[in-house]
C-alpha cells in the first residue's frame, strides 16, 4: 500500500509539557483512518499538526510523498472539516465554498466548475445563495465538507465533524461521509471520541491515550484482540467485563473457581503463572439454553435487568465479581432469577494484571 | 367531595395564569425610576425651553414656563453670531474643528485597535500576553500624569499644537480600551474560523479584511460610539494639544459662556451648550440598539 500521509517521530511540546512524543504513523493512499480516544488524548492535536495549524517541535510530516513539515496549511494538499463548522458567517454558501479558490486567484470558470461539482456531490445546490445562519446543523456541516471538497486535495482531515449534531443526523451524515469516501477514494483522517463512528467508518483505527497510539488496526482486530486493558475497556458498549484472577498455564482461577482457557491463543507460549485479568465481552456471554453449548458454564443469579429494546443487558456475579451480559430481548429476565451463563474463554482476552498488556 | 365552590369555568381552586398584582415593591421601584429620570430630564427641559425664549422673556425668570413666543434665533446666534471676546463667529469654527479632530481620530484609532485585537487573539506571537497586559495597564493610567511628557515629546517632533498632533494624542489614549474591546470580541469568535481561513490560504491581511472585519460590525459600532462621545466631549486634550487654530467645540463653548461682556445671554448659552452636546446624543439615538447588543456580546462571551 502506498503511503499518503506519513508522520515520523513527531513531538509536540508546549513548554515542558509534551503533548505528543515520538509519534509514528503511516496512512495509506485512499485509506480511511480514524483517530479515536478520550478527551485530551492528543488526537485533535495530531490532526492540527498534520494540517499545519500547530508548529511541531520535532520530527517530520510527509503528505503525498512531499515533506511538508515547514509548509503553510494551504500548501499541504489538505482540506479540513471542523466540529463547529467554522463557516464564514457573512458569506453565502457559494462564497464560503469558493473563498479558498478566490484567495488563490483561480480563474472564475474553474471556480464555478468546482463549486458546481462539490454542491452536486453534497446535494447543496438549492442552498448556494443562503447564509450559514439560515442553514440547519446538517446542512452547515455539508457546506463545511464542500469547502474541503472544492480544494481538490489528496487528504481530508475531519475534526469531530459530527459531534455537534443530534443523534439521528449524526448517523445520517455518517453514512454520507462513508459514501463520499467510497466515491472519492481520497485519504481521510477522522478524529472522533465516538467509537461507533470509528467502528463504522474506519479502514483502520488508531486508538490514542496520553499522546501515544495504543493500537493501530482494523476495527475487527481492535474489537476482538485489544492489545491492552485500555483499548479493551475503551472499545465496546457495554464495556468488556474484567475478571481479576490468576493465570496458571491453561487455567484461569478466581479463588476456588477454575476457568479452563481451552483454545485461547496466547501472544507467546509459556506464560506460566501470573496475576491476570480475563476480559469477556458482554455479547459473548450466553444465557439459558445457549449457555449449555459453551465450554464454560456457571449458575448465577440476576441482579439488575436493563432492557435496551433490541436487546437486554443483565447484571450478575461471577465469583463475587460483577459481570454484564447482553442477550436477545426475547429472553424473559427478572432480578433474583436463577440462570445459567456460559462463555468461550478462547474468545476472551487475557491481560497481565501488572502491566495491562495482552498475554 | 367537599363543598368547594366551582366557578363559572368549572374549576375549583387556582387554575390558569396567575393574576397580575401590583405590589408595593413594584410601586417603589417605579417611583424611584421616575424620580431618577426627572433628576436628569428637568435640567434638560429648562435648558431647552430657555434656549427657545428671547432675552426679555428669560429675564422674567419663570424658568419652567414654556416659551410664549418660541424662537430659534438663540440657536442661530449660538452657531454663527455669538461673540467670544471680539470674535463674533458663533460656535461654527469650533464645530468644524471638532469634526476635523473627531473623524480622523475615530477612524485611525479603530483601525489600529481592531488590527491589534485581531493580532493579539489569533496570531499569538512571543510576548503577546505581556504586550496585552501592558495595554490593560495603560487603560488605568490617569491622563494628567502623562500630559507633560507628551507635550515635550510632541514639541520635539514639531506636532505640538497641530491637528495631526491632537489626532495622534486621541488615538494613543483610545488605544488601551479599544484594543481590549476588540481583542475580547475576537477571542469570543470560534478559533476554527481562523483555522479554516488559514487552510483556505488566506494570509494575515486577507483573513482580517475578508473574514474578521465583516464579522466585527457590532463591536465596531460600540467602538465608534465610545470614541465619538469621548473625543467630542474632550476638553483637556483639546485645551493642551490642539493649539489656538484647532480649538474644539467644547473649548469654544467654555470660552463663549465664560467671557461676559454686558448682559449674559442665557438663551444663547443654553442653545450653544445643547448644540455642543448634540453630536454624541444623535450617535446614541441612532445606534443605541447596536450599542447595547455589542456591549452584551462582549460581556457574555468575552
Chain B interface with A: residues with Cβ < 8 Å? 190, 192-193, 195-202, 206, 210-211, 214-215
Nearest by Cα to B83 from B243, B249, B233, B255: B255
**CB-based contact B298:B181 (threshold 8 Å):** yes
SS3 B7: coil
Q: What is the pLDDT of residue A270?
A: 75
- Distance of residue B123 Cα from the nearest chain A Cα, in angstroms: 11
- List of domains in chain B: 24-71 (no CATH), 92-262+277-301 (1.10.3720.10)
A99 in contact with chain B, both atoms CB, cutoff 8 A: yes
Cell representation of residue A356:
495491562
Contact of A14 with chain B, judged by CB distance below 8 Å, is answered with no
3-state SS of chain A is CCEEEEEEEEEEEECCEEEEEEEEEEEECCCEEEEECCCCCCHHHHHHHHHCCCCCCEEEEEECCEECCCCCHHHCCEEEECCCCCCCCCCCHHHHHHHHHHHCCCCHHHHHHHHHHHHHHHCCHHHCCCCHHHCCHHHHHHHHHHHHHCCCCCEEEEECCCCCCCHHHHHHHHHHHHHHHHHHCCEEEEEECCHHHHHHHCCEEEEEECCEEEEEECHHHHHHCCCEHHHHHHCCCCCCEEEEEEEECCEEEECCEEEECCCCCCCCCCCCEEEEEEEECHHHCEECCHHHHCCEEEEEECCEEEECCCEEEEEEEECCEEEEEEEECCCCCCCCCEEEEEECHHHCEEEECCCCEEC
Q: How many CB atoms lie within 10 A of CB B155?
A: 12
Contact predicate A307/A326, CB 8 Å: no
Q: pLDDT value at position B129?
A: 87
**Residue from B94, B203, B166 nearest A73 by CA:** B203
Q: In angstroms, rounded to a whole number, what is the distance separating the alpha carbons of residues B93 and B83?
A: 12
Per-residue b or e along A235-264, where b marks 16 or more CB atoms closer than 10 Å to that residue's CB: bbeeebbbbebebeeeebebeeeebebeeb
Q: Does the beta-carbon distance from A80 to B190 stay under 8 Å? A: no
* Dihedral sign of CA atoms B189, B194, B197, B199 in order: negative
**What are the residues facing A36 on neighbouring strands?**
A192, A207
Q: Which chain B residue's Cα is nearest to A144? A: B196
* Cα dihedral sign, B142-B146-B150-B151: positive
In contact, B239 and B183? CB cutoff 8 Å: no
The shortest C-alpha distance from A74 to chain B (Å) reads 5
The verdict on a CB contact (< 8 Å) between A89 and B215 is: yes
pLDDT tens-digit series, residues A105-122:
999 999 999 999 999 999
Predicted confidence (pLDDT) at residue A88 exceeds the cutoff of 70: yes
Inter-chain contacts counted by CB atoms under 8 A, chains A and B: 61
Phi and psi at A317, nearest 5°, equal -130, 140
More confident residue, A95 or B293: A95
Residues A299-340 pLDDT 10s: 999 999 999 988 999 999 998 899 999 999 888 889 999 999
Question: Could you read off the pLDDT of A163-209 as tens digits, one per residue?
Answer: 888 888 899 999 999 999 999 999 999 999 999 999 999 999 999 99
Whether A61 has its CB under 8 Å from any CB of chain B: the answer is no
Query: Tell me, what's the pLDDT at B6?
Result: 67
Q: What is the pLDDT of residue A130?
A: 93
Distance separating alpha carbons of residues A151 and A184, to the nearest angstrom = 13
Task: Output the pLDDT for position B217.
Answer: 85
* Contact at CB, A53 and B190, closer than 8 angstroms: no
Residues of chain B with pLDDT under 70: 1-9, 260-261, 291-302
Mutate to test the interface with B, among A90, A95, A97, A155 (most CBs of B within 10 A): A90
Let me know how long chain A is. 359
Q: How many CA atoms lie within 13 A of B228 on its CB side?
A: 20
Check if the interface score ipTM surpasses 0.90.
no
A114 touches B: beta carbon within 8 Å: no
Closest CA–CA distance from residue A157 to any residue of chain B (Å): 11
Dihedral of CA atoms B227, A88, B199, A198 in degrees, nearest 10, equals: 130
pTM (global) more than 0.80: yes
Exposed (0-12), middle (13-18) or buried (19+): which is A58, by Cβ within 10 Å?
middle
How distant, in Å, are the alpha carbons of A242, A278, B274 from that of A353? 10, 9, 84
Alpha carbons within 13 A on the beta-carbon side of A333:
28
Place of cell 427478572: A334
pLDDT at B221: 86
Contact list in A for residue B195 (CB cut-off 8 A) is 48, 51, 53, 73, 80, 82, 86
Query: Quick check: A86 and B190 CB within 8 A?
Result: yes
End-to-end CA distance of chain B: 59
Backbone angles phi, psi at A334, to 5 degrees: -145, 145
In chain A, the domains with their CATH numbers are 3-233 (3.40.50.300), 238-352 (2.40.50.140)
Determine the pLDDT at residue A265: 87
Mean pLDDT confidence for A133-140? 90
What is the reported pLDDT for B299? Answer: 41
> Nearest-CA residue of chain A relative to B205?
A103
Element (H, E) at B46: helix B24-51
Task: Decide if pLDDT at A28 tops 70.
Answer: yes
pLDDT of A350 above 50: yes
Mutate to test the interface with B, among A45, A53, A71 (most CBs of B within 10 A): A53
B118: phi then psi, degrees, rounded to nearest 5: -65, -50
Option in A73, A86, A103 nearest B193 (CB): A86
Closest alpha carbon to A201 in A186, A183, A221, A181? A181
CB within 8 Å: A72 and B190: no
pLDDT tens column, A267-299? 887 778 889 999 999 999 999 888 888 889 989
Look at residue B293 in the predicted model and tell me its pLDDT: 65
B1-B5-B7-B11 Cα dihedral, nearest 10 degrees: -30
Amino acid at each position: 500500500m502506498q503511503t499518503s500521509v506519513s508522520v515520523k517521530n513527531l513531538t509536540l511540546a508546549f513548554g515542558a509539557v509534551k503533548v505528543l512524543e515520538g509519534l509514528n504513523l503511516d496512512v495509506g493512499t485512499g485509506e480511511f483512518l480514524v483517530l479515536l480516544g478520550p478527551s485530551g488524548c492528543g488526537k485533535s492535536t495530531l490532526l492540527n499538526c498534520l494540517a499545519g495549524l500547530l508548529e511541531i517541535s520535532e520530527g517530520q510530516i510527509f503528505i503525498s510523498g512531499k515533506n511538508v513539515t515547514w509548509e503553510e496549511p494551504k500548501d499541504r494538499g489538505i482540506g479540513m472539516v471542523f466540529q463547529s463548522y467554522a463557516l464564514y458567517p457573512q458569506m453565502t454558501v457559494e462564497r464560503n465554498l469558493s473563498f479558498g479558490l478566490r484567495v488563490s486567484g483561480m480563474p472564475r470558470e474553474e471556480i464555478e466548475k468546482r463549486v458546481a461539482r462539490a454542491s452536486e456531490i453534497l446535494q447543496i445546490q438549492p442552498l448556494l445563495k443562503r447564509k450559514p445562519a439560515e442553514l440547519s446543523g446538517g446542512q452547515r456541516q455539508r457546506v463545511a465538507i464542500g469547502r474541503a471538497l472544492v480544494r481538490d486535495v489528496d487528504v481530508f482531515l475531519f475534526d469531530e465533524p459530527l459531534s455537534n449534531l443530534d443523534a439521528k443526523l449524526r448517523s445520517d451524515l455518517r453514512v454520507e461521509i462513508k459514501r463520499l469516501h467510497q466515491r472519492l477514494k481520497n485519504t481521510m483522517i477522522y478524529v472522533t471520541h465516538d467509537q461507533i463512528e470509528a467502528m463504522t467508518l474506519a479502514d483502520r483505527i488508531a486508538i490514542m491515550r496520553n499522546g501515544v497510539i495504543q493500537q493501530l488496526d482494523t476495527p475487527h482486530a481492535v474489537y476482538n484482540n485489544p492489545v491492552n486493558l485500555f483499548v479493551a475497556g475503551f472499545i465496546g458498549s457495554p464495556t468488556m467485563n474484567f475478571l481479576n484472577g490468576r493465570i496458571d498455564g491453561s487455567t484461569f482461577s478466581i479463588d476456588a473457581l477454575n476457568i479452563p482457557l481451552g483454545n485461547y491463543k496466547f501472544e507467546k507460549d509459556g506464560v506460566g503463572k501470573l496475576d491476570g485479568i480475563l476480559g469477556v465481552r458482554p455479547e459473548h456471554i450466553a444465557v439459558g439454553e445457549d449457555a449449555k453449548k459453551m465450554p464454560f458454564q456457571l449458575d448465577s443469579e440476576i441482579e439488575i435487568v436493563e432492557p435496551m429494546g433490541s436487546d437486554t443487558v443483565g447484571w450478575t456475579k461471577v465469583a463475587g465479581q460483577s459481570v454484564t451480559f447482553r442477550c436477545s430481548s426475547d429472553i424473559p429476565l427478572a432480578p433474583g432469577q436463577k440462570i445459567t451463563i456460559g462463555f468461550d474463554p478462547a474468545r476472551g482476552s487475557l491481560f497481565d494484571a501488572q502491566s495491562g498488556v495482552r498475554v | 367531595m367537599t363543598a368547594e365552590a366551582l366557578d363559572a369555568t368549572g374549576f375549583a381552586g387556582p387554575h390558569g395564569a396567575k393574576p397580575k398584582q401590583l405590589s408595593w415593591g413594584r410601586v417603589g421601584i417605579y417611583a424611584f425610576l421616575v424620580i431618577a429620570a426627572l433628576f436628569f430630564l428637568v435640567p434638560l427641559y429648562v435648558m431647552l425651553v430657555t434656549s427657545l425664549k428671547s432675552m426679555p422673556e428669560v429675564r422674567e425668570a419663570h424658568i419652567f414656563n414654556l416659551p410664549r413666543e418660541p424662537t430659534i434665533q438663540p440657536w442661530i446666534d449660538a452657531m454663527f453670531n455669538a461673540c467670544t471676546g471680539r470674535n463674533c463667529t458663533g460656535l461654527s469654527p469650533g464645530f468644524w474643528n471638532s469634526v476635523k479632530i473627531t473623524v480622523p481620530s475615530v477612524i485611525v484609532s479603530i483601525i489600529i485597535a481592531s488590527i491589534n485585537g485581531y493580532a493579539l487573539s489569533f496570531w499569538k506571537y512571543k510576548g503577546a500576553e505581556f504586550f496585552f497586559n501592558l495595554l490593560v495597564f495603560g487603560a488605568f493610567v490617569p491622563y494628567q500624569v502623562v500630559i507633560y511628557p507628551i507635550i515635550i515629546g510632541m514639541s520635539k517632533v514639531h506636532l505640538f499644537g497641530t491637528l495631526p498632533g491632537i489626532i495622534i494624542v486621541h488615538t494613543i489614549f483610545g488605544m488601551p480600551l479599544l484594543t481590549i474591546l476588540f481583542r475580547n470580541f475576537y477571542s469570543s469568535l470560534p478559533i476554527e474560523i481562523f483555522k479554516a481561513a488559514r487552510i483556505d490560504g488566506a494570509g494575515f491581511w486577507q483573513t482580517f479584511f475578508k473574514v474578521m472585519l465583516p464579522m466585527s460590525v457590532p463591536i465596531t459600532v460600540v467602538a465608534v460610539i465610545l470614541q465619538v462621545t469621548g473625543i467630542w466631549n474632550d476638553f483637556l486634550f483639546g485645551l493642551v494639544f490642539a493649539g489656538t487654530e484647532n480649538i474644539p467645540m467644547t473649548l469654544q463653548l467654555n470660552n463663549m459662556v465664560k467671557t461676559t461682556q454686558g448682559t449674559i445671554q442665557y438663551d444663547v448659552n443654553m442653545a450653544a451648550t445643547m448644540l455642543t452636546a448634540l453630536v454624541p446624543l444623535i450617535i446614541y439615538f441612532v445606534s443605541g440598539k447596536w450599542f447595547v447588543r455589542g456591549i452584551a456580546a462582549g460581556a457574555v462571551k468575552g
